[in-house]
Structure 1
Amino acid sequence: MSSKQKVQSTWPLYVAAILVGAVIAGGISYSFVADSLAALGIPDPGPATTFGLPALRGAAWLLAALAIGSFLFSAFLIPPADKALGQAKLTVDGHIAARTGASSASGIAIIGVLMVPLVLSDVSGTPLGQVLFQPSAWATALAQVAEAKVWLTVAVIAAIVAVCGYTLGDWMAQPGLLIGAVAIIVPLGMEGHAATGGDHDYGTNAYLWHLIFIMLWIGGLFALIAHGRRLGPHMEKAVARYSRIAFFAFIVTVISGMISTAIRVQPSDLFTTRYGLIIVAKMAGVLILGIFGFAHRQLTIPKLSSDKSAFVRIAVVEVFVMAAVTGIAVTMGRTPPPPPRDPNLTNMQIQMGYNLYEAPTFLGVFTIWRFEILYTVIGILAAVYYLWLLRRVDNWDHRRTFWWLLGCVSLGVTLSSGIGMYMPSGYAMHMVGHMILSMTVPVFLVLGAPLTLVKEAFPEGEFNPRAWVEAFEKSKFLKFITYSPISTLQFLFVFYVLYIFPSFYELAISEHAGHVLMNLAFLVSGYFYFWELVGPDYIEGRPRVPIRLAWLFISMPVHLFLGVYLMQLNTVMGEEFYLSLDLPWNPDLLRDQKNGGGIAWAAGSFPLALVFGILFVGWWREDKQDSDRMDTKLDRDEDQEWEEYNKMLSTYSRHDESAAQHQPFTTQQTKQRTKLVKPSAPLDDDSGAAKDTNGEDPRNS
């Protein structure tokens, strides 16, 4: 360490960056507030709301970035104190980063609560002071204002992450805390301009990609600056890992931003409307950040071993640019967008984002396509990463490659073809998609053994994806979720909870966020269930095949019963939503629902038959291995018995010879002893045991 270098606190930098983002967000929004309120016909609620609401929103976004980046850092950018990750405690630097993430989540929780009265003040034009201390006003906000509910949800998630971040100091908790920190911002990605109007499925999904990866980009840089200012170890590897994340985040941010812009703004509006100018300013900021990232890769990263301060100096400037871009982005939610590209939207476009013109048919669903940009893209990325890993592995079973790619293709085809397009329009097509996503795609994916491939692609003894996978395979969470009764129950729970409660089903299908979360639940629940049953990837303490087969037999009738229940149900679930679509073929909703029940009853036959076949073959192989192992053991034990028998005879022989020296045998005794065992008796070819003079095994006499 150079004598000129000294440890520096980073909290003043955090506070300054958050203030920059908040002031820019509040200032720009406040300057546009008159037009915004006039467009909405709302009286001015006063500066406390018009400036404070966007300012706090900007602060919340930057705190979310800091939380995400801090947990990313403690989980994956630097190693913990011990190579055995399952029991490893965080290093001092990891502990500081985790505490920073927990503190940031605490700040978001406080802001989330404050946003409830602020949102009510904003939409009603009531001064903040009149609603802040009135419980009835809070109740009104939560009952009638969707954005208030979103912020309360954000506050609850953030509070949980904060408590866990403060109390859990081992490495195993950090990946989960990172997922929790990302979950904080997901509700914010489901509301706003992107979630309304035509093509809002594209707008919402693109916004989710945009928001999550820009948070990873900004937050990771926050964490690295703090690590550099406290002169922490492993800086070179941490920066190298972050550089790859930042490069991918830059690409995702640019592409998702272009998609969102193309949906909401015509090219002529970019320089003629305030909304368009904000988009241009944001795009310019992102490009500047891309230049900073290029500078890091070309100039500062090669010099990290000799001059860590070079990275920090450039990164500090970069993070303030990020804060400014965040503040600008926040104002988009406060600025009236230009008129929609198509002002004559149908009810289907408003509810689903697109139009359908005819009833679905078996072949017809494969003649219309609408590329789904969330799970389909995830499937493409998963396939590409799998194929990239194959380049690092020799002698891989290519049947596993076939299954994995088939799963990725099935996921994309299901959601991007007419199957995915018709899923929101009727119960039967919803059930077709559900069955594929929960009972077909997961089977294909687990047979691809992706975790085994990761382990074989990376070396042992290093802090790399192999170590992360091995720690996950030994985690308490995986032991719990793949415990046969729990695995079966969680799989059946996802089926039953969605369809037994009609109000819950209608809430889930009437919002795009509901579709996103439902599809996620189908995929994750099915993956864990079938992984425990037939997945080649390692699970510690996995029961033997007969026990797993028994659990499959237990779950099958329970699963089939739901289909029978739905076929007999005479109450139409989601009726209000389906009627609001004004479908041109005027479907019989009750009949469609009964058809959906029949699909639920019958559609699982193929994947369950495949799983049964795999388990049956596994049982046969397991039984054969047991038999071979027993035969080997018997052969080994038999050889050992022969050796012990011969040793016993040899011992008796030496004993008798010694005794003969002191007391000679009579002639008759000598003849009897010679008849029992001759010194020149032939040996059995297989065991080496002695035979008697008649060629018989003495043990058989």
Structure 2
Amino acid sequence: MNPRALRAAGPAILLVAATLTVFAALAYGGAADPLATGDPGPFVRWGLPVAKLVVNLSAAVMVGSLVLALFALRAGEKEFDAALDVASIGAAVFTVSAGTVGFLTFLEAFNPQLSAGPEFGAQLGSFLTSVELGRTWLITTIAAAVVTILAFAIRSWTASLFTAILAIVSVIPMATQGHSGDLASHDATVTALSLHVVGAAAWLGGLVLLVVLRPVLTDRALPAVLARYSSIALVSFVVVTLSGFARTLSSIGAWDQLGTPYGGILAIKVAALVSMGLLGAWYRQRLIGRVATAARAARSFWTLIAVELGFMGIASGAAAALARTSPPFTETPYSTTPAEILTEEPLPPELTLDRWLTSWNVDLLWAFVAGFGIFFYVAAVVRLRRRGDRWPVYRTVFWVLGMLLLVWVTSGPINAYQEYLFSVHMLGHMLLTMAIPLLLVPGAPITLALRAIAKRDDGSRGGREWIMWAVHSPFARVVTHPLVAAAIFVGSLWVFYYTDLFRWSMYDHLGHVWMVTHFLLSGFLFVMSMIGIDPVPYRMPYPGRLVTLIAAAAIHAFFGVSLMMQSGLMMAEWFGAMGRTWGPTPLEDQYIGAGIAWSIGEIPTLITAITVAIQWSRSDERQQKRADRHADRTDDAELHAYNARLARIAERDAAGR
């Protein structure tokens, strides 16, 4: 297919395939059938899933265009500006469609009588501000509107980056909708859906942008842009596939349930995704490198793109229908025990020694972080070795161990019991903020990335360029300063546990994700400022580092003591209301957790101090060796000059007498 013809036909192929699929899937699954009571009418039953389909497609165009522009194009060029224009158009459609979904959701949930009177407006306003479902779509609509304005108004690298981050954040609330709340492992389901939505958006939106940009891309720039998009699509495919599989486990309990309407629609979506993966592998291996030089390869490539857009439309339509179709494997939404009311999951059995080895509650987000972290690190090491460069084995070992420990903390027994035992929560906190960074920092990931990732010479920014920008940004100069990093490290303890941030992290999964991210990064920054190998704007002298470590350890120990002296229970409405019949009492458990913060938490600090002392000693040895080599090269010229100067001084003193 001619690329100019595809520019007009591509979006039409996507929309037609998605619309036909969603209507067929709704009819097959019965999601648009009239309700026995409180039926909102055919307009809402059919209009709501179609509006959600438009939300999904427009959000993908918004996110994918910004991501591809930042990773594959050059700021200041017409291609970059066109990408931001496409993102702004996608965000505008996203704004309108999200507002429509919010309105139709209100009609479906409350089935009010439509009118222009104040009562209807008051009901709608109350829904949008007081009901979680309404607030979600209100926040989504406002965020999309802000992205619309920013993408239209800005053209610089940094502003585009923050606009892209806001665009990604704006699609996350959609993952909390659908049937996820009625399924087992609500938090795991929401995480899987969030990853699924973001991955699909980057994949689909980038492809649409390629089709739109093709007529303005030069033949010289085209292969590089296609290869960069292919890398984004590959990562997105992995994320979409694994997160989709995790989501399926919560909705399909057995193979025979694939015969249900939900299973049939899911099978269509899976088939479309597999087909897209095969097409992507085909043109990545066979066609991208020849697109600019071989007319036949170019025609084949753009024809495959048209076919892939059709499959993406089918997958998008099936996804919109699945969000409206009841899954066959659900649990009752009515909680019967205190633990279920608080955590939405049953109270686990007593934490015994064997459960420390066998209990798992996988957090898909951090499993992805660790998996990609290990893969890209090892790939970078392999690249260095293939070109003849050396990379110390111990750094790889430290990095892999740190990532594996991250998986164990966020997906193992600590994650399975941290909501029920304060002591387990505190142990996980100490490992996140102190032990894991102590393993990751010696891995020197920034240095490895800067050495392994190829430097671009076309003015665009790849991984290496964005890392260099981050390292030298004013924000990095502030947060990596040892005193600032130490203040964040120890100050976070007091702010987190003595404010409502602690409560937020327990009640809201988003708060839990923020907690893990914050303490992991704050610990990493602190350890890197003390013993890091990676480049930082300012490196404190060794005596200053030791003094900072001693001060941080003292404040950290005082925090643990302050917890031990607590006479009341922290978050009594949570830890004191679980209904546990096993283990220590909530107050005893809190005392144990305080002891962990005071005692075990100091061990990594001591290891860091010892490491600083060793580095200091080795630094003095290296300085002395350099001085000795210089003396050998100059035949002790400096020593001879110094002795001669002393001799002259002695002669003047003798003459003066």
Report the TM-score when normalising by structure 2. Answer: 0.84
1:591 counterpart = 2:588: yes
1:401 maps to which residue? Answer: 396
1:50 counterpart = 2:50: no
- Indicate conservation of the 8 Å contact 1:269/1:338, yes or no: no
Q: Which stretch of the first structure deviates more once superposed, 232-241 or 248-257?
A: 248-257
Q: State the shift of 1:194 in Å.
A: 3.0
3-state SS, counterpart of residue 480 of structure 1 = helix
3-state SS, counterpart of residue 334 of structure 1 = coil
Q: Tell me the amino acid that sits aligned with residue 498 of structure 1.
A: F
1:526 maps to which residue? Answer: 523
Structure 1 residues not aligned, in runs of 5+:
81-88, 643-684
Q: State the shift of 1:519 in Å.
A: 1.8
2:380 maps to which residue? Answer: 389
1:214 counterpart = 2:208: no
Give the whole-Å Cα distance in 2 for the aligned partners of 1:582 and 1:598: 24
- Indicate conservation of the 8 Å contact 2:480/2:537, yes or no: no
1:249 counterpart = 2:240: no
CA 1:268–1:485 in 2, change beyond 3 Å: closer, same or farther?
same
**What is the CA deviation profile of residues 576-604 of structure 1, one whole-angstrom value per residue up to 9, with x for unaligned ones?**
34466443427522332233233223332
Give the whole-Å Cα distance in 2 for the aligned partners of 1:554 and 1:256: 43
CA 1:626–1:162 in 2, change beyond 3 Å: closer, same or farther?
farther
3-state SS, counterpart of residue 536 of structure 1 = coil
Structure 2 residues not aligned, in runs of 5+:
652-657
For the aligned residue pairs, the C-alpha RMSD in angstroms reads 3.9
**What is the CA deviation profile of residues 102-142 of structure 1, one whole-angstrom value per residue up to 9, with x for unaligned ones?**
44334434444444443322211225656999553244224
Give the whole-Å Cα distance in 1 for the aligned partners of 2:124 and 2:625: 71
Give the whole-Å Cα distance in 2 for the aligned partners of 1:400 and 1:309: 47
2:211 maps to which residue? Answer: 225
Q: State the shift of 1:270 in Å.
A: 4.3
Give the whole-Å Cα distance in 2 for the aligned partners of 1:130 and 1:25: 32
Give the whole-Å Cα distance in 1 for the aligned partners of 2:347 and 2:2: 65
2:469 maps to which residue? Answer: 471
Matches within 5 A, 1:485-634: 485-492=483-490, 494-502=492-500, 504-578=501-575, 581-585=578-582, 588-621=585-618
Q: Tell me the amino acid that sits aligned with residue 147 of structure 1.
A: L
Q: Tell me the amino acid that sits aligned with residue 380 of structure 1.
A: G
1:185 counterpart = 2:171: yes
CA 1:34–1:208 in 2, change beyond 3 Å: closer, same or farther?
closer
Give the whole-Å Cα distance in 2 for the aligned partners of 1:131 and 1:50: 24
1:481 maps to which residue? Answer: 479
1:417 counterpart = 2:412: yes
- Indicate conservation of the 8 Å contact 2:113/2:120, yes or no: no
CA 1:187–1:343 in 2, change beyond 3 Å: closer, same or farther?
closer
3-state SS, counterpart of residue 540 of structure 1 = coil
Q: State the shift of 1:281 in Å.
A: 1.9
1:451 maps to which residue? Answer: 446
- Indicate conservation of the 8 Å contact 2:59/2:90, yes or no: yes
Q: State the shift of 1:450 in Å.
A: 0.6
3-state SS, counterpart of residue 376 of structure 2 = helix
Q: State the shift of 1:470 in Å.
A: 2.2
Give the whole-Å Cα distance in 1 for the aligned partners of 2:454 and 2:281: 29
Q: State the shift of 1:211 in Å.
A: 2.2
Matches within 5 A, 1:69-108: 69-78=64-73, 80=74, 89-108=75-94
Aligned residues: 638
Q: Tell me the amino acid that sits aligned with residue 287 of structure 2.
A: T
- Indicate conservation of the 8 Å contact 1:58/1:330, yes or no: yes
Structure having the higher Rg: 1
CA 1:112–1:490 in 2, change beyond 3 Å: closer, same or farther?
farther
CA 1:505–1:223 in 2, change beyond 3 Å: closer, same or farther?
same
Q: Tell me the amino acid that sits aligned with residue 135 of structure 2.
A: K
Matches within 5 A, 1:355-394: 355=346, 357-361=348-352, 364-393=355-384, 394=389
Q: State the shift of 1:478 in Å.
A: 1.8
Q: Which stretch of the first structure deviates more once superposed, 196-205 or 588-597?
A: 196-205
Q: State the shift of 1:21 in Å.
A: 4.0
Q: Which stretch of the first structure deviates more once superposed, 105-114 or 447-456?
A: 105-114
- Indicate conservation of the 8 Å contact 2:399/2:443, yes or no: yes
Give the whole-Å Cα distance in 1 for the aligned partners of 2:641 and 2:349: 79
- Indicate conservation of the 8 Å contact 2:88/2:151, yes or no: yes
Q: State the shift of 1:554 in Å.
A: 4.3
Q: Tell me the amino acid that sits aligned with residue 126 of structure 2.
A: T
2:157 maps to which residue? Answer: 171
3-state SS, counterpart of residue 40 of structure 2 = coil
3-state SS, counterpart of residue 335 of structure 1 = coil
**What is the CA deviation profile of residues 227-261 of structure 1, one whole-angstrom value per residue up to 9, with x for unaligned ones?**
21323452112212322332343344333323322
CA 1:546–1:252 in 2, change beyond 3 Å: closer, same or farther?
same
**What is the CA deviation profile of residues 164-183 of structure 1, one whole-angstrom value per residue up to 9, with x for unaligned ones?**
44454333444444433322
3-state SS, counterpart of residue 359 of structure 2 = coil
CA 1:627–1:47 in 2, change beyond 3 Å: closer, same or farther?
farther
Q: State the shift of 1:605 in Å.
A: 0.3
Give the whole-Å Cα distance in 1 for the aligned partners of 2:436 and 2:165: 23
2:318 maps to which residue? Answer: 328
1:274 counterpart = 2:261: yes
Give the whole-Å Cα distance in 2 for the aligned partners of 1:248 and 1:208: 15
Give the whole-Å Cα distance in 2 for the aligned partners of 1:380 and 1:213: 16
Give the whole-Å Cα distance in 1 for the aligned partners of 2:486 and 2:421: 28
**What is the CA deviation profile of residues 495-517 of structure 1, one whole-angstrom value per residue up to 9, with x for unaligned ones?**
33432234x43342134343333
CA 1:152–1:479 in 2, change beyond 3 Å: closer, same or farther?
farther
- Indicate conservation of the 8 Å contact 2:140/2:170, yes or no: yes
Q: State the shift of 1:297 in Å.
A: 3.0
Q: State the shift of 1:310 in Å.
A: 4.3
1:262 maps to which residue? Answer: 249
1:297 counterpart = 2:287: no
Q: State the shift of 1:434 in Å.
A: 1.3
Give the whole-Å Cα distance in 1 for the aligned partners of 2:520 and 2:114: 43
Q: State the shift of 1:72 in Å.
A: 1.9
Matched-pair identity in %: 26
3-state SS, counterpart of residue 248 of structure 2 = helix
1:145 maps to which residue? Answer: 131
Q: Tell me the amino acid that sits aligned with residue 227 of structure 1.
A: L
CA 1:592–1:613 in 2, change beyond 3 Å: closer, same or farther?
same
3-state SS, counterpart of residue 440 of structure 1 = helix
CA 1:27–1:508 in 2, change beyond 3 Å: closer, same or farther?
farther
Higher RCO structure, 1 or 2 (CA under 8 Å, sep 6+): 2
2:272 maps to which residue? Answer: 285
CA 1:388–1:278 in 2, change beyond 3 Å: closer, same or farther?
same
Give the whole-Å Cα distance in 2 for the aligned partners of 1:120 and 1:435: 44
